[in-house]
Structure 1
Amino acid sequence: MTPSEGPRVLQFCHGYDGPFLDCARQYAQLFAGTPYQVTTVYLTGEPSIEAEQGSASDEVIFLGYDSQEVRGLKLAAIRALKRILHGRDFRLCIAHRFKPAYVALLASDLPVIAVHHAFDDYRRLSRRLFAACFRRRLSLLGVSDAVRDDMRACLPSWPAGRIETLYNRIDVQALKATQVDRQAARQALGLLADAWIVGNVGRLHPDKDQVTLLRGFAEALPQLPAGSLLAILGSGRLEAELKALAGSLGIAGQVRFLGQIPEARRYFRAFDVFALSSDHEPFGMVLLEAMAAGVPLIATDCGGGREVVEGVGTLFPLGDAAALAAGLVRLAGLDEAARAACAQAMERRLQERFSDQAVAGRFWALPMTAPFVLD
């Protein structure tokens, strides 16, 4: 430790792909204005200026392993982390996902808060036994109550206060500032300026259940405004299958498969409705991004998505294309006053529950963070 260094927090991330770069920013931001400096370490991924800048950390280190190299015991990663920690005043580790928590617990004697972004992380007996071995200094956070409850069910003997929820969140104003207006967004995506458009963003994967989305849109289409379109942003192994389904449903001409769009959240104002049909979404950051754009939501009534949408959007049962269709028809009938009221309700929800400021207050009130609160 150099004389100018104060106490440090280690943030240990599996990688910075997809939403995980912003997750790193979210947790580093929790320590802004405190005496703690944040060192963010990425287990996988090559050095990246974009990732370094996006991490909002005092120090960023890339270990540069690939997914093959961090299988098994991960001894090289443990040694690398020991070298980073040696001689420095680290007080706490926040680890995203199981592998970084595993490495951090074996490489250090730090208290570890493991943040879990998916279901079933402790279904395996080996993981439950590992967690039990380190229970004295391991605490768990789920990104939604649904993920938290899944972990509590797997670890029933753990005190409830050691397995808590801390929602994903956004810098509301910063995100809004990046989102382009409706006309520019439609131009960027190649969408018609005057069409009524349902948007969906996500991998073309069974977990996202775009099959139900296509079926529901096809059923609703005769009652939607003339020229309505479904725009699907994302890529994946189901692309050919989904395109074939659109053809068999007779809606190929009304569906746009736009592929992977960099920084897709910038273009959410292109949509009249945002639809998420996912199967047990752990949270759904895209829902927050649509809310920031003021776009009405319709989503499956399961997983973490329910916690985001309930009370400010429309929910439908998982896999129920008829209910999805009915919801789309209802949303198509909203007048300008109703859309404005919806946007205001979503703005309040963001500020009260899913903003950086709201979640920071929640984090520092958790029993597991009490030892790290400095006067």
Structure 2
Amino acid sequence: MTASEQAPGPVQRWVLQFCHGYDGPFLDCARQYAVLFKGTPYKVCTVYLTGAPSAEVERGSASDEVIFLDYSSAQVRGLKLGAIRDFRRIAASRDFALCIAHRFKPIYVALLGSALPVIGVHHAFGDYKRRSRQLFANCLRKRLSLLGVSNAVRDDMRACLPSWPAERIETLYNRIDIAAVQAEQVCREQAREHLGLPADAWVVGNVGRLHPDKDQATLIRGFAQALPQLPAGSLLAIMGSGRLEAQLKALAAELGVSDAVRFLGQVASGRRYFKAFDVFALTSDHEPFGMVLLEAMAAGVPVICSDCGGGREVVSGSGLLFPFAQADALAACFVELAVTRSGQDRVPECLETFSDQAARERFRALGWLSYDL
């Protein structure tokens, strides 16, 4: 039998991942979903709706192929007809088994631009509160399954789409490559030097936009209330920028703790420096998940989190929770950890729940894509 007469080999199957962009945490979100298929028969093609081509992003996507559509935010408002045409062309280019789409716009484009089954991943609350989105999802529900990054996000979607079977709206936690994050994190001394923090101070850390959702006002109030009972020279270090910076600085001055509160601004690759902190505190009101909690835990830093949103699911059993916006309860948490000073460099066992391996096992158990390892 000649080479031309030989039976063709098996057709390579692919998974199409469609992301709105790669800013902030969303590059790692693309990585998280690409590595779900490590060791399986599937290859992954990741498509970014917005954002210019970037070799660094291509490397960070952990995908077999990366495509940049390079639309601007203005171009993907409205009907998004150009994006739908581009997506249709990509979907027809090879044998895709399904599409994983992050956030609502990519879900919309993927459903209208192909006949593929779509797994929609939601990273925030309220994505289906609008009646128009509920109608869209209900009309295309035969091809759509939904994942929330926490049980809190999942339950929010289930409440908005009450006619959907519960098994079509599930949870797949955000996660980190624990070893890779730890390898990236620098030692305490180097971290403090980079951030300009004293070597011997007891430091409470916080990372996030200076925005009402993050509620750094309660953070400052709780720290100010606890400060007389904390070690001498204790500091609150807030990493991030935003429209509330002047207001928060004024609050620190009003409470008489300006000298003890450091506003570090936006720090590139901030998670590299988490070992600078003795305690990490997240005070958000509607945190869908809280990746910074995992990064702090990977650094061996004790964590405190407001008892709401998805953060409680991360911290439960491995850190301290306090009622949202209750500065006195937060102050008590600071004092408790300052007195015990335990846990530094101890990585909690529960962090394995939020690992790539745990996510692969959970995704396979959902049964939304069949494959043999």
Question: Aligning the two structures, in what range does the TM-score lie when normalised by the shorter sequence?
Answer: over 0.9
CA distance in 1, matches of 2:358, 2:22: 24
**Residue of structure 1 aligned with 2:57, choices 39, 51, 57:** 51
- 1:162 is aligned to 168
Contact 1:161–1:367, Cα closer than 8 Å, also in 2: no
- Tell me the number of residue pairs that the alignment of Structure 1 and Structure 2 aligns: 366
The amino acid that maps onto 1:218 is A
2:239 pairs with 1:233: yes
- 1:290 is aligned to 296
**Residues 285-327 of structure 1: CA deviation (Å, up to 9, x unaligned):** 0000000000000110001000000111000011000000010
- 1:178 is aligned to 184
Q: How far apart are 1:4 and its partner, in Å?
A: 8.9
CA distance in 1, matches of 2:297, 2:144: 34
**Residues 113-164 of structure 1: CA deviation (Å, up to 9, x unaligned):** 0000000000000000000111001000000000000000011110111000
Matches within 5 A, 1:39-78: 39-78=45-84
**Residues 73-96 of structure 1: CA deviation (Å, up to 9, x unaligned):** 110100111111224101110000
- Deviating 4+ runs (over 3 angstroms): 2-5
Q: How far apart are 1:374 and its partner, in Å?
A: 3.6
Describe the SS at the equivalent of 2:225.
helix
1:5/1:188 CA distance change after superposition, 3 Å? farther
Describe the SS at the equivalent of 1:261.
coil
- 2:86 is aligned to 80
Question: Runs of 5+ in structure 2 lacking a partner?
Answer: 1-7
2:346 pairs with 1:343: yes
> Aligned-pair RMSD on alpha carbons?
1.4
- 2:4 is aligned to none
Q: How far apart are 1:5 and its partner, in Å?
A: 6.3
- 2:121 is aligned to 115
- 1:95 is aligned to 101
- 1:373 is aligned to 371
Matches within 5 A, 1:217-228: 217-228=223-234
**Residues 167-205 of structure 1: CA deviation (Å, up to 9, x unaligned):** 000111111000000000000101000000000000000
Q: How far apart are 1:334 and its partner, in Å?
A: 1.4
Describe the SS at the equivalent of 2:37.
coil
Q: How far apart are 1:280 and its partner, in Å?
A: 1.7
- 1:314 is aligned to 320
Q: How far apart are 1:242 and its partner, in Å?
A: 0.8
CA distance in 1, matches of 2:315, 2:167: 26
TM-score normalized with structure 1 length = 0.95
CA distance in 2, matches of 1:5, 1:207: 48
- 2:137 is aligned to 131
Contact 1:13–1:97, Cα closer than 8 Å, also in 2: yes
2:327 pairs with 1:324: no
Q: How far apart are 1:21 and its partner, in Å?
A: 0.3
Question: Runs of 5+ in structure 1 lacking a partner?
Answer: none
2:27 pairs with 1:29: no
Contact 1:281–1:303, Cα closer than 8 Å, also in 2: yes
CA distance in 2, matches of 1:145, 1:182: 34
2:357 pairs with 1:357: yes
Q: How far apart are 1:3 and its partner, in Å?
A: 8.0
Q: How far apart are 1:69 and its partner, in Å?
A: 0.8
The amino acid that maps onto 1:339 is G
Contact 1:162–1:368, Cα closer than 8 Å, also in 2: no
Describe the SS at the equivalent of 1:290.
helix
CA distance in 1, matches of 2:10, 2:247: 58
**Residues 39-94 of structure 1: CA deviation (Å, up to 9, x unaligned):** 00001111111111100000001111111111111101001111112241011100
Percent of aligned pairs with the same amino acid: 71
Q: How far apart are 1:339 and its partner, in Å?
A: 1.7
Contact 1:161–1:368, Cα closer than 8 Å, also in 2: no
The amino acid that maps onto 1:360 is R
- 1:13 is aligned to 19
Matches within 5 A, 1:236-247: 236-247=242-253
Contact 2:41–2:371, Cα closer than 8 Å, also in 1: no
Contact 1:279–1:302, Cα closer than 8 Å, also in 2: yes
CA distance in 2, matches of 1:255, 1:285: 23
CA distance in 1, matches of 2:66, 2:93: 17
**Residues 239-279 of structure 1: CA deviation (Å, up to 9, x unaligned):** 11111111111111001101000100000000000000001
